Amino acid sequence: RKEVEQDPGPFNVPEGATVAFNCTYSNSASQSFFWYRQDCRKEPKLLMSVYSSGNEDGRFTAQLNRASQYISLLIRDSKLSDSATYLCVVNKGNQGGKLIFGQGTELSVKP
Amino acid sequence: NAGVTQTPKFQVLKTGQSMTLQCAQDMNHNSMYWYRQDPGMGLRLIYYSASEGTTDKGEVPNGYNVSRLNKREFSLRLESAAPSQTSVYFCANQENSNQPQHFGDGTRLSIL
């Protein structure tokens, strides 16, 4: 079983759609959770951190369920510029700051 | 304020050649990391440095060495390049263990 698992997609959605990405992780000792965005052939960029209470940043909402070891990202009112690969990232818990990256979910937003 | 800077951005080597990938940060963060990213493989950790003067192996260290010259710089060396090391290499830094990592814009390395 992979340490972080994501649906690889691709997700093809029209502009204005709502899309949800899911992620599961296997290390119950993980304490920090993030969503990154990666555009084609570019570096990963932090989209948002994920907190236990859930958090929202504009059109983006992240949720964490520690009991189920499950993380989600919801994008509302999709824009063409949201097209990218979204990486679910989890820290290794008792191994300092090392992060585990999911393989990413590809999103393509069409006009 | 550049954040994390990697040089060079592109490089083509012949098998057996050596080279050093440079990474520098201006964020004064303690930890620095080197990753490689290959199609279908996601990001894999090569080496990391939790603080100045310390380095540790990651998931795929074979064929690489690193040097944490000071708090600002963390270099990755290929002593004898092999075609299997063709990849995109990313350097990242991190303020502390609960914080996210910040990436440089990568070095695209091809080994013929």
Render the burial of A50-77: b for 16+ CB within 10 Å, e for the rest: beeeeeeeeebbbbbeeeebebbbebee
Torsion of CA A57, A58, A59, A62, to 10 degrees: 10
Tell me the per-residue pLDDT of B31-88, one tens digit each, with 9 for 90 and over. Answer: 999 999 998 788 999 999 999 999 999 999 999 999 998 999 999 999 999 999 999 9
B63/A contact by beta carbon, under 8 A? no
Residue A94 predicted with pLDDT over 80: no
Q: Is B104 on the interface with A (CB under 8 A)?
A: yes
CA-CA distances (angstroms) from residue A2 to A6, A80, B41, B93? 10, 31, 12, 24
Q: Is B97 on the interface with A (CB under 8 A)?
A: yes
Per-residue pLDDT tens for B2-15?
Answer: 799 999 999 999 99
- C-alpha torsion angle, residues B33, B37, B41, B46 (rounded to 10): -30
> Nearest C-alpha of chain A: how many angstroms from B53?
16
Asked if A43 and B106 come within 8 Å (Cβ–Cβ), the reply is yes
Question: Among A96, A101, A103, whose Cβ lies nearest the Cβ of B97?
Answer: A96
Q: B98, A31: Cβ pair inside 8 Å?
A: yes
